[in-house]
Amino acid sequence: MSPAGTTPAGGGSALKPVLARLAAGERLAEHESEVAFGVVMEGAATAAQIAALVMAMRVRGETVAELEGAVRAMRARMRTVPGVADAIDVCGTGGDNHGTLNVSTAVAFVLAALGVPVAKHGNRALSSRAGASDTLEALGVPLHDDPAVLERLLQEQGIAFLSAPLHHPAMRHAAPVRAELGTRTIFNLLGPLCNPAGVRRQMIGLFDARWAEPVVAVLRRLGAERVWAVHGNDALGGSAQGLDELTLAGPSDVVALENGEVHRFTIEPERLGLARRPVSDIWGGDAIGNAEALESLLRGATGAYRETVLLNASAALQVSGKGNMLRTPDGEALHAMLREGMAHAARTLDDGSALAVLERLRAGSDIPREDDVAIGAIHGG
């Protein structure tokens, strides 16, 4: 194989021996995976080769080394944005086939209202009817691709939405294959691991709990500071397919990276004062319907959507460092910490500050860089 980060001469022909090895059940080293996915992202692989590559990995089971190599290939080709040191991303992998309302997008508005800088990475609909980018456009929020504009939004307004198609042009070569396959592959994992603003604090929702530890391991190797990899279990629905976010439908599994240490724990909605609710309570629709639901939420609407957003926003606060640092990753201390975060998040919906974030983005005016009152409340000052 060629050195990592380069595309072999001959393009797709270099994938043939790789595909033969994968068909035999072999695994790729990190640098081999990086080169193979580099071929794909340079447009030098055929549709059949791309499908064979990702499906062979899925059937056998993708490895941490293969995932890290693919992430490095994608990061090397993305259009980057100058970020801010303490920015956070909240992003799900998709692929959970539940078609829920846009939870992480709503969480982004709540975090920004609390003074947490958010470089929100999102995509158009793949496994649902309305992805983050679709819903934002329906809300009237412009999606920029100019790095200078996005840098200004992050620095002056404290929030920027990074639409994946605008920052990962190399992925266009795989897009038709992904659509035709119609099932989750390693590509679902790559986007959340390749934030264009280079954030080092991330809350990532996963379609499958078994990916939590590998994702945290890859991000740790790539320099992440704080990560929560979360997966919600659909206990009420009895579905084997969980959600790529914290849920009210059952307990949620979390693998967290903080201060170089990895913690594993479970979040139970009942211990947060939340009744269990079926996933159907937050089923979404098209972009217009999801946008209407999100704006209603920001205007104070109650129900399962609000409670789900508060739960996820509270967890994201811990990742951002604005909440209490995780010291006891289980039991009452954990749930007390999350209840406190939910109360802070709820105030942004009740006092209109989260809605103000949306309105200022629509109007193109500046959002205060920090909400001193909110920050003071979070730190108990």
Average pLDDT over residues 321-325: 69
**Residues 82 and 197: beta-carbon distance below 8 Å:** yes
Is the confidence at residue 246, as pLDDT, over 90?
yes
Helices 47-60 + 30-41 axis angle, to 10: 150
Chain centroid to CA 36: how far? 24
Helix (H) or strand (E) holding 74: helix 64-75
Instruction: State yes or no: pLDDT of 370 exceeds 80.
Output: no
Ramachandran sector of residue 225 (left: φ over 0; alpha: ψ -120 to 50; beta: rest) = alpha
What is the chain's length? 381
Q: Is a pLDDT exceeding 90 seen at residue 129?
A: no
Give the annotated binding-site residues: 92, 95-96, 100, 102-105, 120-128, 132, 178, 244-245
> How far apart are the C-alpha atoms of 96 and 192, rounded to whole Å?
14
Q: What beta strand segments (E) does 233-341 contain?
A: 252-258, 261-267
Residue 213 tokens read as 């530890």
- pLDDT, one tens digit per residue, over 185-216 is 999 899 899 999 999 999 999 989 999 999 99
Averaged pLDDT, 36-64: 97
Q: Which H or E run contains 216?
A: helix 212-221
What does the pLDDT read at residue 324? 60
What value does the mean pLDDT take over residues 308-328?
84
| 3 state SS of 162 | strand
Binding-site positions for 5-phospho-alpha-D-ribose 1-diphosphate read: 92, 95-96, 100, 102-105, 120-128, 132
86-116 tens-digit pLDDT? 999 999 887 666 678 999 999 999 999 999 9
Q: Which of 9-18, 25-34, 77-86 has the lowest mean pLDDT?
A: 9-18
pLDDT at 262 over 90: yes
- Whether residue 6 is predicted with pLDDT greater than 50 in this model: the reply is no
- Rounded Cα distance between 263 and 257, Å, is 6
Calpha distance 170→73 (Å, rounded): 10
pLDDT band at 47 (very low <50, low <70, confident <90, very high): very high
- Can you give the C-alpha Rg of the chain in angstroms? 20
pLDDT of 4:
43
Half-sphere exposure for 311 (CA within 13 Å, toward CB): 30
Q: Return binding residues for Mg(2+).
A: 104, 244-245
pLDDT digits (tens, 9 = 90+) for 57-91: 999 999 999 999 999 999 999 999 998 889 999 99
Predicted pLDDT of residue 9: 46
- What are the binding residues for anthranilate? 92, 123, 178
pLDDT band at 329 (very low <50, low <70, confident <90, very high): low
